[in-house]
Amino acid sequence: MAKTFDLKDDSVVVVVGSGAGGGTLSNELVQRGINVVCLEAGPRLGLTDIINDNGAMFNRLSWLDKRFGTGDLNATLPLWVCKTVGGTTVHWAGASLRFQEHEFRVRTVYGNMPGANLLDWPTTLQELEPFYARAEDKLGVTGTSDIPRLPGNNNFKVMAAGAKRLGYTQVHTGNMAINSQPRDGRPACHQIGFCMSGCAIGAKWSTLYTEIPKAESTGRFEIRPDSMVVKINHDNSGKATGVVYADKTGTLQEQKARVVCVAGNSVETPRLLLNSQSSKFPNGLANSSGQVGRNYMRHMTGTVYAIMPGRVNFDRGTQMAGIIKDESRHDPSRGFAGGYEMETLPGFGLSGVASNTVAGAWGLEYANVIEMYDHFAGMWLVGEDLPQAGNGVALHPTEKDKHGMPVPVVHFKDHANDVAMRNHAYKAGTAVYQSLGATQVFELPPFPSTHNMGTCRQSEKAQDGVCNKYGQTHDVANLFISDGSQFTTGGAENPTLTIVALAIRQADYLADQLSKNQM
């Protein structure tokens, strides 16, 4: 049963955000007997609110509050993330990959790369492996333990056939947090498509209908939707004491807290810390390093669409259940450091294909391309991008949102390594389709960023980053970073599984500290 906590109850852990980081952490903490209040900026939807309509669901789920994008980002929609209970786990495609061993120590492996702010993680793959295993079990990831992989749809079969012709060997339907058989009270995938509009039957893991109701059933958890946190308060000793948030009527409230954990995604998390500046912390909370808001990463991405010689119907079935992993290795002989994954991606409906295939195109020739819609195949290219000190999140000097909080300005420019990797990936993706006689191939630039990482990074030394390997901030012992913001570097893999693994580990650590009265 859901519980409510008093605003003045300073024994609770407050979690900001209810997505992969915040939703998971909340449930993990309450399962260990700790009381949690989770504040979520967005509304709470149910499965019946999820429909197969890309445009309607984009408007219903997305974080559309004003943001400025500069550099290579979309100016008005730099990110494609969600403002809803469940956060971006409602939208995500379900790809659940572990980082590779070397991706935790890229400063050592890649060496000094001019312009990049590389740093090794303070953690290793070996340390994280048990938590990856627990995360995979929680999410029901296909291809792990005894969980079968999903069947391949047409778009996968095209990619796999081309991959085979090119000699790629690591090709399968992925490690997906989408049930291939009924599990955990949720059904198997019906190959509906529209995964990224929200899974209407709950076959895809989302905290909306897994972690959050499980947490509520303990009687130790309260989720408050429509609650936008604007500031973290602290006392004279520099300890966090609670958070100020705008409730659904816009009225500011203060929830007291024993511990504050921030999981607002990689723009809102540093925005909140920066907006919590005080005379004691003039540069923002937990920012003695100056690294809050810096090193923003969004992965090297790009998309390849191809018009194939026969019908594909690439919108049918699980959207991202298909992967070529061969290019994810670190192999500097290709002309760049790090690697990338090639994953199936359909077109977000006819209007999506018309908007995105060639930006700004029109006329008879382009209309003829759109008429080949049912012959389209598509893949997404996603790889490691390098952290750069100048890529990041800042508060707008004058413009404020309706709660009086400065609007975030997000800046990102590709590193030369990102560009070299993208060009290699475009060629590789194009070759896959051309090996099967594709009549036309299109290389699409990055969409608004869904993989957002690094703006409050983990570091061994306090001067290099914001938090330690448990996500605990170096400066404020009872303040934690609980989302992808804590990534030191981004790896080639979709980040959610790593966010969940880190949240489980953080819950273990936090529960241990609380039991020893260390907070």
Partner 1 sequence: MKAHAPSRRDFLCSTSFVAVGLATGGYMILAPDYAWALSTTALDAHTAQTLLVMARQLFPHDRLGDQYYATVVEAVDKQAASDAALRKLLTDGVARLDGARGIAWVQLSNGARNAVLKTEEAGEFFSTMRTATINNLYTNPLVYRFFGFEGSSVEHGGYIDRGFDDIGWLPNA
- Point out which span in 265-273, 293-301, 307-315, 385-393 binds partner 1 (CB under 8 A): 307-315
Place of tokens 């969600």: 82
Query: For residues 454-483, which are near partner 1 according to CB under 8 A?
Result: none
Binder of partner 1 out of 360, 398, 516, 517 (CB under 8 A): 360
Q: Which of 143, 352 has the CB closer to partner 1?
A: 352
Q: Which of 116, 353 has the CB closer to partner 1?
A: 353
CB of 69 to partner 1, least distance (A): 18
Site string for partner 1, 259-288 (x = CB under 8 A): ------------------------------
Tokens coding 219: 């009687």
Total residue count of the chain as it appears in this document: 519
- Point out which span in 157-165, 209-217, 219-227, 380-388 binds partner 1 (CB under 8 A): 157-165
Cβ atoms 420, 335 nearer than 8 A: yes
349 near partner 1 (CB under 8 A): yes
Q: Which of 141, 192 has the CB closer to partner 1?
A: 192
Give the DSSP per-residue string, 135-148: HHHHHT-TTSTTPP
Place of tokens 């007291």: 256
* CB proximity list for 27: less than 8 A, separation 6 or greater: 207, 211, 212, 214, 215, 221
Report angle CA 425, 456, 206 to the nearest 5 degrees.
70
DSSP 3-state of 233? strand
151 near partner 1 (CB under 8 A): yes
Query: For residues 20-59, which are near partner 1 according to CB under 8 A?
Result: 51-53, 55
Total residues interacting with partner 1, rule: CB under 8 A = 44
Q: Which of 367, 389 has the CB closer to partner 1?
A: 367
Query: For residues 408-437, which are near partner 1 according to CB under 8 A?
Result: 436
CB of 355 to partner 1, least distance (A): 5
Binder of partner 1 out of 313, 423, 440, 513 (CB under 8 A): 313
**Helix 154-166 vs helix 416-434: crossing angle, to nearest 10:** 100
- Classify residue 96 as left (phi > 0), alpha (psi -120 to 50) or beta: beta
76 near partner 1 (CB under 8 A): no
CB of 50 to partner 1, least distance (A): 8
| Distance from C-alpha of 207 to C-alpha of 210, rounded to nearest angstrom | 5
CB of 372 to partner 1, least distance (A): 9
Binder of partner 1 out of 142, 154, 206, 430 (CB under 8 A): 154
Cβ atoms 381, 349 nearer than 8 A: no
Tokens coding 453: 């990482």
The DSSP element (H or E) to which 216 belongs, if any, is helix 211-216
164 near partner 1 (CB under 8 A): yes
Q: Which of 7, 64 has the CB closer to partner 1?
A: 64
Name the burial class of residue 125, with classes exposed (0-12), middle (13-18) and buried (19+) by CB atoms within 10 angstroms of its CB.
middle
**Adjacency order of strands within the sheet including 36-39:** 221-224, 36-39, 13-16, 259-262, 479-481
Amino acid at the residue 485: S
DSSP 3-state of 224? strand
The DSSP element (H or E) to which 301 belongs, if any, is strand 300-307
Cβ atoms 465, 458 nearer than 8 A: yes
CB of 174 to partner 1, least distance (A): 15
Residue ranges with strand state E in 345-478: 376-383, 392-400, 406-412, 440-444
CB of 156 to partner 1, least distance (A): 8
Closest CA to 308 of 379, 413, 233, 394: 379
Binder of partner 1 out of 364, 398, 516, 517 (CB under 8 A): 364
CB of 343 to partner 1, least distance (A): 17
CB of 494 to partner 1, least distance (A): 22
CB of 210 to partner 1, least distance (A): 19
355 near partner 1 (CB under 8 A): yes
Amino acid at the residue 284: G
- Point out which span in 35-43, 125-133, 284-292, 353-361 binds partner 1 (CB under 8 A): 353-361
359 near partner 1 (CB under 8 A): no
Site string for partner 1, 166-205 (x = CB under 8 A): -----------------------xxxxxx-----xx----
| Distance from C-alpha of 69 to C-alpha of 90, rounded to nearest angstrom | 23
Q: Which of 182, 309 has the CB closer to partner 1?
A: 309
Q: Which of 29, 192 has the CB closer to partner 1?
A: 192
The DSSP element (H or E) to which 253 belongs, if any, is strand 252-256
Binder of partner 1 out of 373, 442, 470, 487 (CB under 8 A): 373
| Distance from C-alpha of 469 to C-alpha of 459, rounded to nearest angstrom | 7
Q: Which of 154, 218 has the CB closer to partner 1?
A: 154
439 near partner 1 (CB under 8 A): no
Residues forming a β-bridge with 393: 410
Interface ranges with partner 1 (CB under 8 A):
51-53, 55, 151-154, 157-158, 161, 164, 189-194, 200-201, 309-313, 315-317, 349-351, 354-355, 360, 362-364, 366-367, 370-371, 373-374, 436
